[in-house]
Amino acid sequence: MNNVSLLKVGARALRGALLLSGAMLFAMPQAMAGDPVKGGKIYNQQCKKCHGGSGKSTFPGVADFSRGEGLMIADHELLQKIRDGRGMMPAFRGILKDNDIFDVITYLRKLRR
Ligand code: HEC
């Protein structure tokens, strides 16, 4: 093998590695995303009585998730809010695991119509 073909082989290997890491970057967010089906079950058990089946709250003045209200923030900020609670909203720290809360957040984001 001469130097030129060696270079070609190297370039091809590099391109392969770049494609692979690119594909992994695409695959990762999906692997980390919450499970909306599990989230929906938890929502129905823990949240529905106040936030309604469709995300339209029964409390006046509370964010309407079916209109995307209150959801224009990052997942980790929502996690914080749900862990801490506020006012009439109970804190879910110790009741739900972070993973469960992420599942619920994934579900909340699907309530928008
Ligand atoms: C006892 C009733 C009640 C339950 C149960 C409840 N919430 Fe709430 N939630 C509220 C109220 C009331 C507020 C508004 C709090 C405030 O701003 O004073 C609120 C606020 C929120 C907010 C913030 C919205 C905003 O305007 O920023 C989120 C997100 C949220 N709830 C999600 C959940 C999730 C997820 C669950 C179930 C795991 C849940 N809530 C369970 C009553 C409840």
At the top level of CATH, the class of 34-110 is mainly alpha
Q: What is the mean pLDDT of residues 71-98?
A: 97
Q: Judge if the beta carbon of residue 62 lies within 6 A of ligand 1.
A: yes
Neighbours of 25 (CB within 10 A): 9
Crossing angle of helices 98-110 and 75-84, rounded to 10°:
110
How confident is the model at residue 59, as a pLDDT?
85
In the reported structure, the alpha carbon of residue 85 is separated from the centroid of ligand 1 by a whole-number distance in angstroms of 7
The predicted-structure confidence for 25-81, as pLDDT tens digits, reads as follows: 555 554 467 999 999 999 999 999 999 999 999 888 899 999 999 999 999 999 999
65 C-alpha vs ligand 1 centroid, how far in Å?
10
pLDDT at 78: 97
Domain residue limits, the chain: 1-32, 34-110
